Amino acid sequence: MGHEHNHHHHHLQSITGDLKKIYICAIILNALFVAFEAWMGFHSDSLSLVSDAGHKLVDVFSLCLTLFAFILASSRPGKNFTFGFRKLTVLISLLNAVFVVIIAGSIIYESIEKMLDPSSLTPDGTAISITAAVGIVINAISVTLLSYKRRHDVNTRGAFIHMLTDCLLSIGVVIAGFIIKWTGFVLLDPIVSLCIAGFVLANILGVLIESFKMSIDAVPERIDAVKIKDSISSVKGVAEVKDLHIWPVSTTETALTARLVIDDPARIAEITSQVKEQVKAGGVDDSTIEIQLQQ
Ligand SMILES: [Zn+2]
């Protein structure tokens, strides 16, 4: 019975100093804007600004998590934590998604309450437009910062696309502010809030489902388990694939274990290395293969 396990953690390079600095800059910049927008929202009686501040707070939190995940991804295995703290990235992602759903839910509740009592609405259209315009500038700076590295990392690319979408959202809020100022259509303020909450929910739903599935060790969405099983079976000399398990070690890494029934003991090393190649091509980082000889 042969047993092989190799670790190729070349993808787990510790976060580069530049990328870390870019994230810290983007986090500080956006956190300052959240404080400004929330303050403006309360003073101009604008639910859409307060809602957008809630949305941006979630964004800042996500940027912090992405940075934290980079650091966790390179954590070394310890005596009692044989995986390091990599799986913590999944738990954090799940908690983040739950937190976002709660924020979006409270925005929706607040918006509906205001819509049912329009006399309570006194939003200042000018303040809304000016604040959202500042938001566009902050977004543009963040997009420029993150675009330097976006080709090298999937998380950073995700953050980049998100910031770009947020720019469009802010443009919408600027226009809504002008409409409120010119037409006095105050209901537009809670309507814009609802749109922001809907946008945030739509964005997080996939993350919520994916991180929940990852926390119960489902095969990550980017991995095709059937294809991997087929590719292992197609290696010459493999009679049967048993006990195939594929699970996420972190939000970015995947592990696999399998038992292979083979008939030729002379080809164990050859078959194992071919199977490992197939598995790697399927997007799995770590594989442990056990060989069982056919009776
Ligand atoms: Zn956002």
- Is there a domain that residue 259 lies in? yes
For residue 65, report the distance from its CA to the centre of ligand 1, in Å. Answer: 14
Model pLDDT, residue 12:
38
Q: Is 4 part of any domain?
A: no
Structurally, the chain folds into a number of domains equal to 2
Q: Please tell me whether residues 191 and 250 are part of one structural domain.
A: no
Kindly give the parts of the chain with pLDDT less than 50: 1-14
Containing domain of residue 68, as a range?
10-215
How many angstroms separate the alpha carbon of residue 166 from the centre of ligand 1? Answer: 5
- Is residue 111 located within the same domain as residue 64? yes
pTM above 0.85, yes or no: no
Single out the residue of 96, 109, 106 nearest to residue 204, CA to CA: 96
- Give CA torsion, residues 268, 272, 274, 278, to 10 deg: 150
Same domain, 22 and 122: yes
Please tell me the distance between residue 22's alpha carbon and the centre of ligand 1 in angstroms.
17
Over residues 22-44, the pLDDT tens digits come to: 888 889 999 999 999 999 999 98
- Centre of ligand 1 to C-alpha 56, Å, is 6
CATH number at residue 116: 1.20.1510.10
Residue 190 CA to ligand 1 center (angstroms) comes to 18
Does residue 1 lie within any of the structural domains?
no
Statement to judge: residues 87 and 195 lie in one domain: yes
Contact present, 51 and 93 (Cβ < 8 Å): no
Give the CATH number of the domain where residue 240 resides. 3.30.70.1350
CA–centroid distance, 203 to ligand 1, in Å, is 9
Tens of pLDDT along 47-79?
888 888 988 888 888 888 878 877 877 778 888
Residue with tokens 């388990």, as numbered in its chain: 225
154 alpha carbon to ligand 1 midpoint, in Å?
17
Whole-number Å distance, alpha carbon 82 to ligand 1 midpoint, is 35
Q: Are residues 158 and 269 in the same domain?
A: no
**Same domain, residue pair 117 and 35:** yes
102 part of a folded domain: yes
Ligand 1 centroid to Cα of residue 236, in Å, is 50
